[in-house]
Amino acid sequence: MKGYHFLSADCRLGYEDGRLVKPGAIFELPYDQRPEICVRGFHASKRPIDALRYAPGPVICGVSLTGDLSHDNDKSVGRRREVLWMADITWELHEFACWCAEAALSLTQITDDRLWNAIKVKRAWMDGEASDQELAAARDAARDAAWDAARTAARAAARAAAWSAARAAARAAAWGTAWDAAWDAARAAARAAARAAAWGTAWDAARTAARAAAWGTAWDKQNDQLLLVLNSLEIVEE
């Protein structure tokens, strides 16, 4: 199985293993151990958006997973993992977080300048044109915007939930490590899409179906965006 796996910035395996990972490296379980999801073995996800959930850092690897494969909803485990290529995508993950946040704010038609400015300042920070203090101030302003909205009453429940998720995406984009910001913004944006899909429906079952479909669609779009990012990279291969 071909898939994706993230590493910390030092390019070493986690869970007290510590071995250095390079393109072409092969890692394999001892012959007397059998791989098991979340217990032992070498993991990967078929889609980069799913691999992002488990990212301990910004280094993404394209891998081949073989040997006694087992599959879960968003990851697989095998006896043997070969590293085909790898890349540090710190900057790209920050940009992806901004992309997710903008999509969520646009979808929910939120115009609060404090939320949009948080993304603007994040991009300036990425380009070295805004300080850590300016980014922190923009993030705090986005948080205040969310609190102000929370105090506003008499909104439809689904719409309020969508707005809340969109605001969360904007805050996430301006906060934390590249991989955490990317994952949190992606989840919040997908949640906003799912909630927004339920605005006009009348029945609980219809709302549930609309949310599920919209969540899946948003997740697919985010995965497509990550694939575009990866396809644009100068990949380090064996």
Rounded mean pLDDT, 116-140? 88
What's the pLDDT band for 181 if we cut at 50, 70, 90? confident
| Residue 168 neighbours by CB under 8 Å, 6+ apart | 146, 184, 188, 191
Q: Is residue 238 part of a domain?
A: no
128 and 188 in a common domain: yes
Tell me the per-residue pLDDT of 38-74, one tens digit each, with 9 for 90 and over: 899 999 999 999 998 899 999 999 999 998 899 998 9
144 and 56 in a common domain: no
> Which of 109-123, 148-162, 211-225 is predicted with the least confidence, judged by mean pLDDT?
148-162
194 and 148 in a common domain: yes
Residue 165, both tokens: 């998720």
> Which of 32-36, 51-55, 59-63, 208-212 is predicted with the least confidence, judged by mean pLDDT?
208-212
Mean pLDDT, the chain, as a whole number? 81
| Residues 182, 96 contacting (CB under 8 angstroms) | yes
Domain holding 37, by residue range, is 2-88
Q: How many domains does the chain have?
A: 2
User: Last residue of a domain, which of 88, 110, 136?
Assistant: 88
User: Last residue of a domain, which of 88, 116, 137?
Assistant: 88
| Residues 132, 172 contacting (CB under 8 angstroms) | no
157 and 203 in a common domain: yes
> Which of 102-106, 119-123, 160-164, 217-221 is predicted with the least confidence, judged by mean pLDDT?
160-164
Identify the sign of the CA torsion 200, 206, 207, 209.
negative
Q: Percent of the chain, pLDDT > 70?
A: 81
Q: How many residues does the chain have?
A: 238
83 and 138 in a common domain: no
Flag whether pLDDT at 162 surpasses 50.
Answer: yes
Rounded mean pLDDT, 8-22? 91
What's the pLDDT band for 201 if we cut at 50, 70, 90? very low
Full 3-state SS string of the chain: CEEEEEECCCCECCCCCCCECCCCCEEECCCCCCCECCCECEEEECCHHHHHCCCCCCEEEEEEEECCCEECCCCEEECEEEEEEEEECHHHHHHHHHHHHHHHHHHCCCCCHHHHHHHHHHHHHHCCCCCHHHHHHHHHHHHHHHHHHHCCCCCCHHHHHHHHHHHHHHHHHCCCCHHHHHHHHHHHHHHHHHHHCCCCCCCHHHHHHHHHHHHHHHHHHHHHHHHHHHHCCCCEEC
- What is residue 22's predicted lDDT score, i.e. its pLDDT? 94
